[in-house]
Amino acid sequence: MADVLLNIIAPIVLLAALGALMRVKFAIDLATLSKLNIYLFIPAFVFYAVATSQLAGPQMLGVVVICTLQVLTLWAIMELIGRWLRVRRDVLSVVTLSVVFYNCGNYGLPLAMLAFPGQDAAAVQAFVILAINLLIFTLGMVIASSARQGSLGPSVVAALRLPIIPALVAALAARWWTGGDAALLPTVIREPARYLAAGLVPIALITLGAQLASNPRWPRWKPVSLVLVLRLIAAPIHTAILLWVLHRTGWTPVQVTPDVARMLILTTATPAAVNVLLLTLELGGDTDLAAQCVFWSTVLSCFTIAGWLMVIQAY
């Protein structure tokens, strides 16, 4: 337990705390940090991680398929829970977003790389980030807009134009050309991509800390507690069950190794995505509740992640 807290959780918390301190002391601009992540560091990371990955094609596809199925089934479960409990639509949309979409980027990426060093964790997480980002800016917009009526067409088109997609296409082309050997990439492409990819983890965690420092809230315990239980505890169990079912049925498009399965379970134990708050602000809804879900799930995840790491490492 002490090793998990010291070697995996502590570096994440420290960098996030530094980001929060920078936000409080210097009022660093969140919009600029977000743009650096979305338009520069994440595309460069996706390109470098995928272009140099040794993952087989079926495993890449398997990660995307599993993430998509996990999100869609969780969404269906949340709709059933909402109808059963008769939750107001504006509250249900925020709770659903917070449970379904997790912080796979600026929290999940460093977590995976620290927990699974040398096991191609970066490449696995690159495809998780790709799948979740596409889903949150498409399906997530549908869920967020359910709090009120709105036009989704322009937003979906804008999401599909994010640089992560051309970065992935370029990475797959480079991987086909080089066979995953980074040395065969031209230096003028390889080195800038490597430098930017290496910078994603600290910049992402500093951004996370700065964002959390901007929206601390004392929670409305009833909906927030539901999010905490479902997001931090039930979601990884749901993913483990989904992986077991897919393994038992032998569905051909889904081919993942036991190590990749462990990574996928761990990354779904991360807290609610910061984009939940951004979507709620953009499309309307209970923004205070969204901020509370993101903040408190991130704070309490330090303890639940430690527990999940111990369980996963035991199997």
pLDDT at 123 over 70: yes
Using pLDDT thresholds of 50, 70 and 90, give the confidence band for residue 217: low
Give the whole-angstrom CA distance, residue 180 versus residue 176: 7
How far, CA to CA in Å, does 305 sit from each of 122, 128, 229?
A: 18, 18, 13
Report which of residues 277 and 46 the model is more confident about.
46
pLDDT at 231 over 90: yes
| SS3 call for 126 | helix
- HSE at residue 239, side-chain half, CA atoms within 13 A, is 30
Q: What is the mean pLDDT of residues 262-283?
A: 82
Give the whole-angstrom CA distance, residue 28 versus residue 80: 41
Is the sign of the CA dihedral 102, 106, 110, 116 positive or negative? positive
How far, CA to CA in Å, does 124 sit from each of 61, 222, 262, 264, 266?
A: 10, 35, 11, 8, 12
pLDDT given for residue 122 in this prediction: 78
pLDDT at 139 over 50: yes
- HSE at residue 47, side-chain half, CA atoms within 13 A, is 23
pLDDT given for residue 215 in this prediction: 63
pLDDT given for residue 150 in this prediction: 46
Residues 191-209: tens digit of each pLDDT: 999 999 888 778 877 877 8
pLDDT given for residue 159 in this prediction: 56
The mean of the pLDDT values for the chain is 82
